A and B are shown apart, each in its own frame.
Chain A
């Protein structure tokens, strides 16, 4: 049984069907990537799974327990933690305090992190611990977002476009940090558009289009799938691309 099981998940915003019966099984010992064109429902999937938006139908199970619509903070306390696409922080507080808040909520690191400083060390923000979060450059802000999420001692981390807005070297450094998580018992499920990075980083890829899962499997296989190529490159350009 997978740690996170999503069964027939539906989400409708008025007449728009953002998620149309999604089934997923995600384990906590690897990196799983979710890809898909804009508007395919990737972020909505995260939002519904983590309780930010209520589900219209279907169910989400975490270790066999139904967590559908139980509220965002309760889901986070079950150590299913997410980051946000917009690089969120507590902008008026220091970097240290940002992480400390999460660390205290996550039962003080649950043995994994003895102090918030260790998390900052891990993501490479230790020299900036006294800085005000709102004054950080964007790359550091991304790392702070990860540090805050790690502070909650997640078992599974849902990262929503952690590389967005980073330059190549920053994104690579970030990917290196993410790759260190599964061996430490922190499963990762991430959304990103950088296909090269995703192919390197992920053990498994899931492709969404119009709120449905159209492919799933090892990256090499999935990216070679004609259905996936069609979604990404359009039917007419298929020949040209291959």
Chain B
């Protein structure tokens, strides 16, 4: 039967002003649903990998490398948040607490039982996943906004428990751990080696995110994000998958928390409170939760912005607020969306995605 697409051919006859507006709409749209060609994806991945691997050799200094490590382990946690928010549409503003669960689990195992990073990592990740699932239980009954409040409360509660945990949690002072158990020939006390350790974990996180995003599982999550009722009616167990993705996100958070712990070698409750959690939410929105490199971009922008602009902590909070407003108003898909759109505008990639008003927001 014939297809009657009423929107076809509308752009061609549009006056100049409307065409400019169309072009702007294309630049600011969220085109996460339209994949780039495989070759472009591969080249981007290789360039990025080369840049990240070469970073310690560029002679950018100790301070730069320290911020880079912070950026990378934060990005690992963000990939989990990107999965639950970007793919499944479940936002959390308590994600730092989930990283904290992993970090504290690992630290307590180290202090109490003498387990190092490698031995405690599986336990820390599992505990973060379980806690992520348990916080998620109420989401099955209440809508998204309520879950956001629940995560915020969890975050506050977590800090209170840690602060009052006596010597077990180290109270307000926190806990110390030794250095990462060296692998044969690799001493992680050297900063660049620690960087590569975190980079390897980030690599796993990105690969996992890519595989999930392009799998049946990823599509199932997106279906839930886009339309829960329709998802149910095609046979998707929405409740189970919501809990599932929060647990997967918890795995990422646990990994990030343990890496944070062994980079800082000392953790205290304030690292996992409300502000760090809000920063994580900010980063994932800023970078673009639905784009493969969005979480990484968000982490880079937020961690390096005060450094590049030479801002003190109070000024940087104002800067973050301005950035968030700009992104929400101008680039709802995040900086990742902007970069993709600019690329498509230059190469004419929009020819394949000329659907007007293809705004992918849920």
Report B-chain residues with C-beta under 8 Å of the C-beta of A100. 219
Given A104-B219, A128-B3, decide whether A88 and B229 contact each other with a Cβ distance below 8 A. Answer: yes
Given A84-B229, A90-B226, A91-B227, decide whether A105 and B3 contact each other with a Cβ distance below 8 A. Answer: no
A97 adjacent to chain B (CB < 8 Å): yes
User: Considering the chains assembled together, what is the distance between the CA atoms of A140 and B5 in angstroms?
Assistant: 7
Partner of A88, one of B4, B6, B30, B227: B227
Q: Which of A112-148 contact B (CB under 8 A)?
A: 124-125, 127-128, 130-132, 134-137, 139-140, 148
Which stretch from B61-69, B193-201, B253-261, B348-356 is at the chain A interface? Answer: B348-356
> What's the count of A-B pairs with C-beta under 8 Å?
130
User: Considering the chains assembled together, what is the distance between the CA atoms of A73 and B34 in angstroms?
Assistant: 28
B238 adjacent to chain A (CB < 8 Å): yes
Report A-chain residues with C-beta under 8 Å of the C-beta of B219. 97, 100-101, 104
Partner of A84, one of B226, B233, B353: B233
Total contacting residues, chain A, CB less than 8 A: 47
Report B-chain residues with C-beta under 8 Å of the C-beta of A93. 33, 222-223, 226, 360
A92 adjacent to chain B (CB < 8 Å): yes
B164 adjacent to chain A (CB < 8 Å): no
Partner of A135, one of B4, B233, B355: B355
Which stretch from A59-67, A169-177, A205-213 is at the chain B interface? Answer: A169-177
Report A-chain residues with C-beta under 8 Å of the C-beta of B216. 104
Given A89-B227, A94-B34, A101-B223, decide whether A140 and B358 contact each other with a Cβ distance below 8 A. Answer: no
Main secondary structure on B side of the interface with A:
loop
Q: Which of B211-259 contact A (CB under 8 A)?
A: 216, 219-220, 222-223, 225-227, 229-238
Report A-chain residues with C-beta under 8 Å of the C-beta of B361. 92
Complex contact A76–B232 (CB within 8 A): yes
Closest residue to A130 on the B side, CB-wise? Answer: B352
User: Considering the chains assembled together, what is the distance between the CA atoms of A88 and B236 in angstroms?
Assistant: 15
Given A90-B222, A131-B355, A135-B358, decide whether A101 and B3 contact each other with a Cβ distance below 8 A. Answer: no
B362 adjacent to chain A (CB < 8 Å): yes
User: Considering the chains assembled together, what is the distance between the CA atoms of A91 and B359 in angstroms?
Assistant: 9
Q: Mark A51-87, 1 if CB is under 8 A from B, else 0.
A: 1100000000000000000011110110001101000
Complex contact B7–A137 (CB within 8 A): yes
Closest residue to B224 on the A side, CB-wise? Answer: A90
Complex contact B359–A134 (CB within 8 A): yes
Which of A71, A101, A139 has most B Cβ within 10 Å?
Answer: A101
Complex contact B222–A97 (CB within 8 A): yes
Complex contact A135–B34 (CB within 8 A): no
A190 adjacent to chain B (CB < 8 Å): no
Partner of A134, one of B230, B233, B358: B358
A102 adjacent to chain B (CB < 8 Å): yes
User: Considering the chains assembled together, what is the distance between the CA atoms of A149 and B7 in angstroms?
Assistant: 25
B357 adjacent to chain A (CB < 8 Å): yes
B1 adjacent to chain A (CB < 8 Å): yes
User: Considering the chains assembled together, what is the distance between the CA atoms of A76 and B361 in angstroms?
Assistant: 27
User: Considering the chains assembled together, what is the distance between the CA atoms of A104 and B4 in angstroms?
Assistant: 28
Q: Mark B293-322, 1 if CB is under 8 A from A, else 0.
A: 000000000000000000000000000000
- A-side residues, CB < 8 A to B, are 50-52, 71-74, 76-77, 81-82, 84, 88-94, 97, 100-102, 104-106, 124-125, 127-128, 130-132, 134-137, 139-140, 148-149, 151-152, 170, 173, 176-177
Top 7 closest pairs, chain A to chain B, by CB? A90-B226, A76-B235, A132-B358, A72-B232, A92-B360, A105-B235, A102-B234
- Would you mind naming 21 contact pairs between A and B with Cβ atoms under 8 Å apart? A52-B229, A71-B232, A72-B232, A73-B236, A73-B238, A82-B233, A90-B231, A91-B226, A92-B361, A97-B33, A97-B219, A101-B236, A104-B216, A104-B220, A125-B3, A130-B34, A131-B355, A134-B359, A137-B5, A137-B6, A149-B234
